[in-house]
């Protein structure tokens, strides 16, 4: 009887586990895109000697790194 209860509980949490995996993958992908986009923006702002653009690009790079790091951390903890 307990084996059936565990199997039923696993089937209920399967959808949540799948959703968690998808969200972690999306977070990592968005973080990677932000990281690359920020790097390109920084290179263009650096070439034009635009300090405001450089600051905004660094914020994009940091945000992308944070997203990737959080996704990796959540994936490691679960």
Each residue's pLDDT tens digit, 7-59: 556 677 788 888 888 999 999 999 999 999 999 999 999 999 989 999 999 99
Q: What is the pTM of this model?
A: 0.75
Cα–Cα distance for residue pair 26/23, rounded to 1 Å:
5
Contact 45, 57 (CB under 8 A): yes
- Lookup result for tokens 């089937």: 11
Span 54-66, pLDDT tens digits? 999 999 999 999 9
Contact 35, 64 (CB under 8 A): yes
Query: Exposed, middle or buried: residue 15 (CB in 10 Å: 0-12, 13-18, 19+)?
Result: exposed
């Amino acid at each position: 009887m307990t084996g059936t209860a565990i199997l039923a509980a696993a089937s209920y949490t399967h959808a949540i586990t799948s959703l968690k995996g998808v969200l972690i993958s999306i977070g990592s992908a968005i973080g990677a895109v932000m990281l690359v986009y920020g790097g390109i923006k920084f290179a263009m702002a650096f070439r034009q000697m635009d300090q405001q653009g450089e600051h905004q690009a660094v914020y994009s790079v940091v945000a992308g790194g944070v997203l990737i790091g959080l996704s990796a951390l959540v994936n490691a903890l679960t």
